[in-house]
Amino acid sequence: MSSSSDLEESISDFFSKAGSCTSRSQCDAFANKIFGGPITPVPVQDTCSYTVTNGTTIIQFREPESPLDIQILTAVQAVHPGIVA
C-alpha cells in the first residue's frame, strides 16, 4: 500500500512532466465544478494520468499522449451502461 508521501510524489511527478499544461488545482477545481466535491486523489496513481474521486464518481485526467483506447471504452460502456460514461 502506498504511503501519503508516495502518493503526493506520484501526483507531483505527473504534473511536473514536460508538456503538462494543467495544474493539480485546476484539475481538482474542474472535477469539483462538474461532479461536485470533495475531490480526493485515489490511493494508487498511474504515471500517465491523475485520478480523483468525489466518493461516487471516478474522474481521470490523462496526458494527450496516453489516450484511453476508445474501442475498449465502448465495450466497457456496453457492459456497464450506468457506471461508465
Report yes or no on 68 lying in a domain: yes
Report yes or no on 85 lying in a domain: no
Domain that holds residue 18: 4-79
Report yes or no on 17 lying in a domain: yes
Which helix or strand (DSSP H or E) is residue 77 part of?
Answer: helix 70-79
Helix and strand numbers, DSSP H then E, in the chain: 3, 3
Report yes or no on 16 lying in a domain: yes
What integer pLDDT is reported at residue 20 of this predicted model? 63
pLDDT along the chain (85 residues), means of 10: 82 80 91 95 92 93 89 92 76
User: In whole angstroms, what is the distance from residue 16 CA to residue 28 CA?
Assistant: 16
Name the nearest CA neighbour of 47 among 18, 16, 10.
10
The domain tally of the chain equals 1
Contacts (Cβ under 8 Å, ≥6 apart) of 6: none
What is this structure's pTM? Answer: 0.82
Report yes or no on 84 lying in a domain: no
